[in-house]
Chains A and B, each alone.
Chain A
């Protein structure tokens, strides 16, 4: 960008191809998002292990921070949603939240600068795990027959409405839930990254456009505004991790509830 004012940047509209990366070591799927997701998993485990090592009854600075993070997940996401017996689901929820959060924030962090979950495959995988988890929870709590009956037929529905309610409930509980879970996270990350790219690429192009100073001013403003968007994306990344985890907990909670 040092001589950007002299040589204008080439303009290409940010699009799908910006989400595609080359494979490494001759493996096409071993691309940047794949490395990111592996690094994030190592990072999440490493961070938690570091945060939780040699815990004391009277906490130090590190432990206060660790407890703050852990209690947020434990109390807000698990205990308040699932209620008694939440301890069983805690490892999954801790893993889910921290994994999603780190990957989302990769979109705003140097080196990575790409939200991993704007690649939908990983998100499908996680949604699938959540789907299996809440169905398994329900089957374990009530047995398969009672669980499926609870799931597709709410209590006190008049038989005349069964033909309407049963397909709707089935769709809602077994199809819509995992799909929306996945799409919500993916689309937020995808769109957020796209918007930031538009502001940055477009801003860069306008800033280096020769012949019209107003374009340059607009481009500068656009780049400055992209910083605010980075802040927004940090918040969205947190929010989506929160939403994904709390909904997973909510689904488990409704599955194991005695009355659907």
Chain B
């Protein structure tokens, strides 16, 4: 098959393919291997390389993420701690003011109570006094009259009798306020 071609052209010697089908074989086989490489071999390598770079990159990303998380947790912890401190200080402050307030209130209450009691006592004393004075005023006339009657009715010569009458009067008088006090209490 090569012979007529060789005659037509210059004699190429070894540069003339011995069998032209070798050209086709070269083309077909290279294409078959290329197909196998494109279908199986190159994707296997490239996928693995991709996976590897992903794994390395993913590892770095995971580490970065973990670091960020740890940092955030630390920040949160610090914030919480500061918050707790503030809160404790606030509570102390509140307790202090509240305590002072309570003491103040108690004192005011006690003072008010004392005032009330003393006012009540004053009022009672005043009332008793007023009553005693009133009673005394009411009775003093009668007493004076009865005393004068007795004095006049008795013998005036007898000093001892006069003396006894006065004494008796005075003793009666002495019992008088006790009686009037009892009357006020009852009132």
* Chain A residues close to B by CB (< 8 Å): 16, 19-20, 28-29, 31, 33-34, 37-38, 40-41, 44-45, 48-49, 52-53, 55-57, 66-67, 70, 74, 87, 90-92, 94-96, 98-99, 119-126, 128-129, 183, 186, 190
Contact A41 B33 (CB under 8 A): yes
Q: Could you tell me if A95 and B34 are in contact, using CB atoms closer than 8 angstroms?
A: yes
Cβ of A38: which chain B residues have Cβ within 8 Å of it? 25, 29
Known: A57-B52, A96-B30, A99-B30. A28 touches B38 (CB 8 A): no
Instruction: Summarize B's interface: helix, strand, loop or mixed.
Output: helix
Q: Which residue of B lies closest to A47 (CB)?
A: B41
- CA A66 to CA B42, docked complex, whole Å: 12
**In contact, B22 and A74 (Cβ under 8 angstroms):** no
Residues in chain B near residue A119, CB distance under 8 A? 17-18, 22
In the bound complex, do residue A124 and residue B48 qualify as a contact, i.e. CB atoms below 8 Å apart?
Answer: no
Report the bound CA distance from A96 to B46 in whole Å. Answer: 18
Identify which of A16, A19, A20, A92 gathers the most chain B CB atoms within 10 Å of its CB.
Answer: A92
Residue in contact with A49 in the complex, picked from B28, B29, B41, CB distance below 8 Å: B41
Main secondary structure of the interface of A (DSSP, over half): helix
Closest to A71 in B: B45
Q: Which residue of B lies closest to A123 (CB)?
A: B26
Interface size on B, residues (CB 8 A): 37
9 contacts between A and B (CB under 8 A): A19-B14, A37-B22, A48-B36, A57-B51, A70-B45, A92-B34, A92-B37, A95-B33, A183-B15
Q: A16-B13, A48-B37, A126-B27 known; A41 and B32 CB under 8 Å?
A: yes
Query: Are B44 and A121 interface neighbours, CB within 8 A?
Result: no
Nearest CB in chain A to that of B44: its residue: A52
Report chain B residues within 8 Å CB of A48. 36-37, 40-41
Q: Which residues of B contact A90 (CB under 8 A)?
A: 37, 42, 46
Does chain A have a CB within 8 A of B20? Answer: yes
B82 adjacent to chain A (CB < 8 Å)? no
Q: Given the complex, which residues of B lie within 8 Å of A183, measured CB to CB?
A: 15
Which residues on B sit within 8 Å (CB–CB) of A70? 41, 45
A38 CA to B26 CA, complexed, in Å: 9
Write out the residue numbers on chain B whose beta carbons fall within 8 Å of the beta carbon of A19: 14, 18
Measured CB to CB, the closest approach of chain A to B45, in angstroms, equals 5
B48's partner among A56, A122, A125 (CB-CB below 8 A) is A56
Whether B37 pairs with A125 at a CB distance below 8 angstroms is no
Given known contacts A48-B36, A94-B37, A95-B37, A121 and B30 CB-to-CB distance under 8 angstroms: no
Nearest B residue to A102 via CB reads B33
Q: Which of A44, A87, A124 contacts B17 (CB 8 A)?
A: A124
